[in-house]
Structure 1
Amino acid sequence: MTNLETSDSELRIQGVPIGAIADRYGTPFYVYDADILRETYRDLRDRLHPAVDIFLSLKANPNISVCGYLGVLGAGAEVSSLVELMTALQAGIAPRDIIFLGPGKSRAELAACVEAGIHAVVCESLEEVTLLDEVAAERKVGQVPALLRINPDFHTKGSGLAMGGKPRQFGIDQSLLLAAGATLAAAPRVAVKGLHAYMGTRFLGHDDIVHNTRQILATAAELARRLGIPLDTVDFGGGFGVAYFDNEKDLDLAALTTGINGVVEPFVAAHPEVRLINELGRYLTARAGTYVTRALYVKRSAGEEFVVADGGTNHHMAAVGIGSFVKRNFPIRSLTRYRDDAVRAYTVTGPLCTPNDVIGKRVPLPVVEPGDLLGVERSGAYGPSASPGLFLSHGYPAELLVHDGVAHLVRERDRPQDLLAKQRLADFISTPSHSADGRGSAMDRSDTVAAIGTALGEVLDHEVGPVAEDLRLFEDLHLDSTSVLELLMALEDALGVSVDPENLDMDDFRSVGTLADYVDSLRPTVAPSDAG
């Protein structure tokens, strides 16, 4: 079901035509280029002082395969929720290379940190230190390693979003921390191993980052001395920016790493056992990702050209400029005519019923026709993780990772049955029953599954018996493409449905359950009042 016809101007990722990916997996989707992930990480790793460890901040991109691939390259993980912690562990990140931070950790999250044995819990209040001590006592753990997050006295500049140096929910004010000796002494199961500070995000000036690094390391050394705590670990944040807009330039990596190394070198000489952590999310992942959406309609309104696409701000809210007073366009390209010159300005919108669903205003593009693919580039960070994916119940898009010229599905798109599965119709609500044959009684789910079991018996030429919905058609029953077509023909006869063989999605045939969902979706719904 893949269209391999491509034009010379079509985008290819590692040689794979973007149209072929879209035909196979549908749109919208995010696609991540593993080559760019690798090059970004290694270029920084090769330049940065060896005493500095690079951690992926999962809030930027929590996809388990993105995390796992960067982990294979050598990155640790900074997590801020129970699911992010589970993601990092399942992705193969060693507990010694995981830190957990965030201003509102629950008791359950602290317990998970204790049980996993991560490198450190970053405590953001003195009350959290006390709670962590209680959790450790409940689990009879001798000591839990922790870092104290500082909200330092000094201010910073150059950040797109300041995270410290002013009244904030993050961290412990430096002045309060100096008077925290009694609280720390009363929490004997919390072993404070160092300090953490994070001043802001999206810095594009290397001098600002170097200044912050110098100030944080100096503050950490002074506080550790005055509090009498060891300085085994200092997390000096990150906040490396990525240029999105026309008037911005990417960080000068050579100047940045030279400046950071110049600050780190004497600090390490004075504290030779220290572990330094630099946590990065946007910088590691943004440039590797593209949000791909397909043009549904091209229309003109009041003299302005519009492209209405099948995905918009519900999947990519960051593209509208969250946190910015001035709304500017992310880099948006025609992927179908990737190498063609821009000849017209289009406002690109999504399918939502709100005028705010605009991902690009007056974007210069080649001529756009319905069916063309458009891409929002530099979208590997804060895409699905910062978007209202459930708005209008469209659900979250698929995510793909291209590695060695092969596109791997690393997140399935939400389907209608996925979105409805967690909802419950209250038992006091009565509804009319519907059926495919118009007789007013819906075919029970168990009947559909039973029909599939019977059809499987016909295809396999032996009795299958009762089948479970998690029974896998390919792995467990070893069906092939011919068997699948035979199975569909048998179901057409048994259930009176009509299958279009040119419009099949192999995801529908993963298991008996997904096949039942597919078959049920083919049945027309006829209200009893319409029945003959």
Structure 2
Amino acid sequence: MNHFEYIDGVLSAEGVSIPELAEKVGTPFYCYSTATLERHYKVYAGAFDGLDATVCYALKANSNQAVIKTLAKLGAGADVVSVGEMRRALQAGIAPSKIIFSGVGKADAEMREALDADIAQINVESIPELVELNRVALDMGKKARIALRINPHVDAKTHEKIATGKAENKFGIDWTRAIEVYRDAAQMDGIEITGIAMHIGSQLTDLTPFREAFTRLAGLVEELRTHGIEVKNLDLGGGLGIAYQGETPPLPAAYGQMVRETVGHLGCHITLEPGRLIVGNAGILVSRVMYIKDGEAKRFVILDAAMNDLIRPTLYNAYHEIIAVDEAGVDDKMATVDVVGPVCETGDTFGKDRKLPDNLQPGDLVAICSAGAYGAVMSSTYNTRALTPEVLVSGDKFAIIRERPSIDDLIALDKVPGWLD
């Protein structure tokens, strides 16, 4: 459930009308619903009631400080993949003891800052990274608390660009070498083994790959214990999908039950790292129609939003529902259109052969749905377009939580060398 609904024929975010926001903020803009964020987090966390578990929100899905702080107030920890995200989590009030640092390429400086912050755990993804982290920790006179991220060679049955658990993916240490690498890590004076980690991909809509991966993980934990290596923490990653186009992903309760069945007997603390599931349907991208272009083969609805604002459709061929902000009546005629942006790329397309009201006009507003995850965080200034502002709604209140920079601000970031003056 999300809290974007038509009220008296006009799309609203909770108690705030979208046209009111467009008038005050300008378009395009992202809009997030606090009530949806809170509901999704509570439903997900509630699926693990009775287990020793921590929900560490994956900041890469949406790292706005207001979003992080909203979830932090509910008890969320953080899964971060850069020192920048770690700083965001800390600044938003998440305790270091609830922060997990993942990612395949941590730099020396990032390792040092993570160790100084005394975060809960660093997930190590390769043997060279393990060796480097040991060296850094010894140099600092510290021990690095680590889990090895294991690649279980399980096909998550998701888009190839967001699958992370197959043998050909760059993530993690092959599960066939896990025992060997753990035994080596146990001999390193700068390393303290605290857990084992796994994440097989994003936007999974079937529990079968999870069950296969977690069963394999449980077997590894039991084998490690026979070698005298005690695993206390089990990091299961995230990846549970949402409905973009009629998918029926498992409910969090079903996922929680599967976790109990596969790893609940191990006596480990469990870490979960949802991202998209929490924020995906909590956000929309609002845009204004610039032109209606009737071509020989197609009708194009040209928006003031573009691929630099939401890159998922062109990057992943991702589907996002697109709706008119003014609700179409049951008798209104619908037209088949391609919804596109103004960027100079054929790939700047949000949706092909979509149904929108035939009477849609320049100046009308549309909403691109399910845009709360991997929208604003992946936006850019391509074509020297300003970053899209973000708005958070709570009841009948709203706040701009990221301002739209000016074009002059963007240009001022460039520095012209003296010899060109």
The question of whether the paired residues in 2 share the 8 Å contact of 1:10 and 1:339 is answered with no
With 18-27 and 155-164 compared, the bigger mean Cα shift is at 155-164
Amino acid in structure 2 at the alignment position of 1:374: V
Paired with 1:313 and 1:352, the residues of 2 have a C-alpha distance of: 7
**1:317 counterpart = 2:301:** no
With 334-343 and 374-383 compared, the bigger mean Cα shift is at 334-343
Match of 1:419 among 400, 410, 415: 410
**Aligned equivalent of 2:248:** 249
The question of whether the paired residues in 2 share the 8 Å contact of 1:194 and 1:232 is answered with yes
Match of 1:378 among 370, 388, 408: 370
| Alignment of structure 1 residues 239-388 onto 2, 5 Å | 239-246=239-246, 248-267=247-266, 271=267, 274-320=268-314, 322-323=315-316, 327=317, 329-337=319-327, 343-366=334-357, 367-387=359-379
Amino acid in structure 2 at the alignment position of 1:95: P
Query: CA 1:342 to 1:374, structure 2 compared with 1: closer, same or farther past 3 Å?
Result: farther
Specify the SS of the correspondent of 1:223. helix
Query: CA 1:297 to 1:254, structure 2 compared with 1: closer, same or farther past 3 Å?
Result: same
Paired with 1:393 and 1:156, the residues of 2 have a C-alpha distance of: 39
| Alignment of structure 1 residues 437-448 onto 2, 5 Å | none
**Aligned equivalent of 1:390:** 381
Amino acid in structure 2 at the alignment position of 1:352: V
Amino acid in structure 1 at the alignment position of 2:350: I
For residue 94 of structure 1, report the CA deviation from its aligned partner. Answer: 0.5
Q: Deviations over 1:115-149 (max 9, x none)?
A: 110000111112212211222223222x2211111
**Aligned equivalent of 1:214:** 215
Paired with 1:343 and 1:158, the residues of 2 have a C-alpha distance of: 35
**Aligned equivalent of 1:91:** 92
For residue 185 of structure 1, report the CA deviation from its aligned partner. Answer: 4.7
Q: Deviations over 1:64-84 (max 9, x none)?
A: 111111111121100001110
The question of whether the paired residues in 2 share the 8 Å contact of 1:333 and 1:376 is answered with yes
For residue 217 of structure 1, report the CA deviation from its aligned partner. Answer: 2.7
Between structures 1 and 2, the one with greater strand share = 2
Q: Deviations over 1:323-364 (max 9, x none)?
A: 4xxx46311111133666561122111111122211111211
Identity fraction in percent: 30
Specify the SS of the correspondent of 2:284. strand
The question of whether the paired residues in 1 share the 8 Å contact of 2:125 and 2:148 is answered with yes
Specify the SS of the correspondent of 1:191. strand
Amino acid in structure 2 at the alignment position of 1:289: G
Specify the SS of the correspondent of 2:136. helix
Paired with 2:303 and 2:182, the residues of 1 have a C-alpha distance of: 58
Paired with 1:38 and 1:253, the residues of 2 have a C-alpha distance of: 15
Amino acid in structure 2 at the alignment position of 1:258: Q
- 5+ long unaligned stretches in structure 1: 1-5, 431-532
Query: CA 1:165 to 1:220, structure 2 compared with 1: closer, same or farther past 3 Å?
Result: farther
Specify the SS of the correspondent of 1:239. coil
Paired with 2:37 and 2:283, the residues of 1 have a C-alpha distance of: 9
**Aligned equivalent of 1:108:** 109
Paired with 1:369 and 1:98, the residues of 2 have a C-alpha distance of: 48
The question of whether the paired residues in 2 share the 8 Å contact of 1:11 and 1:338 is answered with no
Query: CA 1:138 to 1:203, structure 2 compared with 1: closer, same or farther past 3 Å?
Result: same
Specify the SS of the correspondent of 2:313. helix
The question of whether the paired residues in 1 share the 8 Å contact of 2:224 and 2:230 is answered with no
- TM-score scaled by length of structure 1: 0.73
Paired with 1:360 and 1:60, the residues of 2 have a C-alpha distance of: 22
With 93-102 and 67-76 compared, the bigger mean Cα shift is at 67-76
Amino acid in structure 1 at the alignment position of 2:340: T
The question of whether the paired residues in 1 share the 8 Å contact of 2:15 and 2:397 is answered with no
Compute the RMSD of aligned alpha carbons.
2.1
**Aligned equivalent of 2:17:** 17
Paired with 1:116 and 1:376, the residues of 2 have a C-alpha distance of: 39
Paired with 2:373 and 2:145, the residues of 1 have a C-alpha distance of: 30
Paired with 1:31 and 1:43, the residues of 2 have a C-alpha distance of: 21
Paired with 1:172 and 1:261, the residues of 2 have a C-alpha distance of: 25
**Larger RCO (alpha carbons 8 Å, 6+ apart):** 2
**Aligned equivalent of 2:3:** none
**1:406 counterpart = 2:400:** no
With 60-69 and 207-216 compared, the bigger mean Cα shift is at 207-216
Decide which structure has the larger Cα Rg and report it. 1
The question of whether the paired residues in 1 share the 8 Å contact of 2:203 and 2:242 is answered with yes
Paired with 1:334 and 1:87, the residues of 2 have a C-alpha distance of: 34
- TM-score scaled by length of structure 2: 0.92
Paired with 1:182 and 1:207, the residues of 2 have a C-alpha distance of: 30
Q: How many residues align?
A: 411
Amino acid in structure 1 at the alignment position of 2:262: V
Paired with 2:178 and 2:259, the residues of 1 have a C-alpha distance of: 26
The question of whether the paired residues in 2 share the 8 Å contact of 1:294 and 1:372 is answered with yes
**Aligned equivalent of 1:434:** none
